[in-house]
Structure 1
């Protein structure tokens, strides 16, 4: 029996592909049998690792690709890469280190959480991205709550983005607490972004006690970081966002439009 069918039956597709190239190389360079075997297996392992990583990235449902290397720390002088070091290794999962990033829009909160989750995937862990609004809506309307919870409980790392950006209806506090509490009991970290100070979460969720319980469980093994400064999205641009100026500009445009319509 030839090698190809045996390699195929064992699922060693990479070895099957590279073997014709490596045998002549091994002969030219006088590799030992062990050297050839090590090279073949390393090719197979590397390919499987890359394929697994890509599968995990697809399942994570990131809205965009972001890594820690592409984050502009020079634009955030108060934030140092070293401050995030404990979240960029296997310890993120093994020590269930959760993180809450607070800050106004455009400060890089989502980028950093995706980058941390992406690094976890590279370390062999699974991750899932969702917004707070999507998670709450998904669980509130689910006919089988326990079944609907599983996609948020199974991954090693869960990113919950935009906590507090939108108003939430009845039951939001309950479903969010269930996710946080069950992940806390399982020792699985959460990376959470918000534009609201922690003392306003009770107002956002309509329940002060549950808000405190959510924060307590998230920060027990985690950290809270506040990002400040101008928006990355408006970098290099000067905008007048004074509300009075905006209202005056709107009134002037309305007056001009009215005059034009009268003259025509």
Structure 2
């Protein structure tokens, strides 16, 4: 081999499944020679680029698998229309601890307030943190579970909704559901609760109205109880993102079952160990 001849190591890289390194190693060798890199510097850059490529590939794959209706980031969310919600108040929700601790989140507000955008953005951040996520509307999930139950296949489909580290259930309360809705949803929530897996719900209904939405007050209360034991409620107010130019909006604070703190429907700013009461304590 001549002094500056680049060795053909592609068969070895292919065997090691180092796809990105196969594409870039020749250019990196040439650059290293031009810039007089040390062996350590060359190896560091080579391995670093392979790791970065694999991370981006994984993010792309998990994002596609999550089933988002669109991809939005936290940076794209317009906090200026929210009266209390600010980016710096979402720190614990965006950290990996949100998933590893099995925490939950309910985003509450009238249509058009950005609930789905925020839910997708939080889920996408956790995909970037290395966790899998699944996005599904409440209507679609309940319909699939009900159909499977009628066919005697409920246990076969449940893992689809119970196994991902993060499940986003969108638009709870927007559409009507069958009489078994509470039972179907409870199967998912209870399994995830017992296994410490995180959930995010978006809803336009007060938590006290979930019973009428799901046709079973007792099961709805049990669902809310499990979600909020390690969860919090965030109220999204302000004008509708879709129709704010029409000035049609009214106050949304009455949607919370309690007096809101800075961003949460709970009294405590951090994720509680037990569900807070639905009524504020009397002074």
Pairwise TM-score range, normalised by the shorter structure: 0.7 to 0.9
* Structure 2 counterpart of 1:228: 237
Match of 1:253 in 2: none
Residues in 2 aligned to 1:83 and 1:26: alpha-carbon distance in whole angstroms: 45
The correspondence of residues 1-264 of structure 1 with structure 2, limited to 5 A, is 2-142=8-148, 143=151, 144-238=153-247
SS where residue 106 of structure 1 aligns? coil
Higher Rg: 1
**Structure 1, unpaired ranges of 5+:** 242-264
Q: What is the alpha-carbon distance in structure 2 between the residues aligned to residue 164 and residue 215 of structure 1?
A: 14
The answer to whether the 8 A contact 2:210-2:217 is kept is yes
**Larger proportion of helix:** 1
Retained in 1: the 8 A contact 2:83–2:238?
no
- The size of the alignment, in residue pairs, is 241
Q: Does the CA-based 8 Å contact 2:240-2:249 persist in structure 1?
A: no
Q: Is the 8 A contact 2:109 2:205 kept in 1?
A: yes
Q: CA deviation at 1:97?
A: 1.4
Aligned CA distance change for structure 1 residues 223 and 240 (closer, same or farther; 3 Å):
closer
> Could you tell me how far apart the structure 1 residues matched to 2:249 and 2:207 are?
29
1:35-59: CA deviation from partner (whole Å, max 9, x where unpaired): 1111111111111110000000000
- Which portions of structure 1, spanning 4 or more consecutive aligned residues, are displaced by more than 2 angstroms? 235-241
Question: In 1, are the aligned partners of 2:239 and 2:247 still within 8 Å (CA)?
Answer: no
Partners of 1:59 and 1:201 in 2: CA distance: 29
TM-score, normalised to structure 2, is 0.82
CA drift at 1:83 = 2.3
CA distance in 2 between counterparts of 1:235 and 1:66 reads: 20
CA RMSD of aligned residues (A): 1.5
CA–CA distance in 2 between the matches of 1:24 and 1:63? 43
Cα drift, residue 238 of structure 1: 4.1
